[in-house]
Amino acid sequence: MLTKDNQKKANIPSCDRSRYSQEKYKFFLEAPFEISNKCCNVMKKEPAHTYYRKTGRKPILATMASESRLRTQKWLHNGCNGFDLTIPTSTPMSFWTEQDVLWYIKENNLPICSVYGEVVTDYEAMGQCENQMTFSDYGIFGEERPLLKTTGCDRTGCVLCGFGCHLEKESRFLRLKETHPKFHNLLYVLKNNGVTYAEAIDWINEHGNMNIRY
Ligand code: SF4
Determine the residue of 35, 36, 38, 39 to mutate for testing ligand 1's pocket, defined as the one with the most ligand atoms within 8 A of the Cβ atom: 39
- Whole-prediction pTM value? 0.76
The alpha carbon of 68 and the centre of ligand 1 are apart by a number of angstroms equal to 14
* CA dist 137 → 17, 102, 130, 131, 132 (Å): 37, 16, 10, 11, 10
Residue 160 CA, ligand 1 centroid: distance in Å: 8
Q: Where are the domains of the chain?
A: 36-95, 98-150, 165-208
How many alpha carbons fall within 13 Å on the CB side of residue 186? Answer: 11
For the chain, what percentages of helix, strand and coil (3-state, to nearest 5) are there? 45, 10, 50
**How far is CA 136 from its chain centroid?**
25
Asked whether 39 lines ligand 1 (CB < 6 A), one says: yes
Q: Which helix (H) or strand (E) holds 47?
A: helix 46-55
Q: What is the pLDDT of residue 188?
A: 98
- Are 101 and 65 in contact by the 8 Å Cβ rule? The answer is no
Asked if 189 and 29 count as a contact pair (C-beta separation under 8 A), the reply is no
Distance CA 149, CA 142 (A): 18
- For each of the chain's 214 residues, which pLDDT tens digit applies? 778 888 888 888 888 888 777 888 989 999 999 998 899 999 988 998 999 999 999 999 999 999 998 999 999 999 999 999 999 999 999 999 999 999 999 999 999 999 999 999 988 876 665 555 666 666 655 556 789 999 998 888 899 999 999 999 999 999 999 999 999 999 999 999 999 999 999 999 999 999 999 9
Per-residue pLDDT, 143: 58
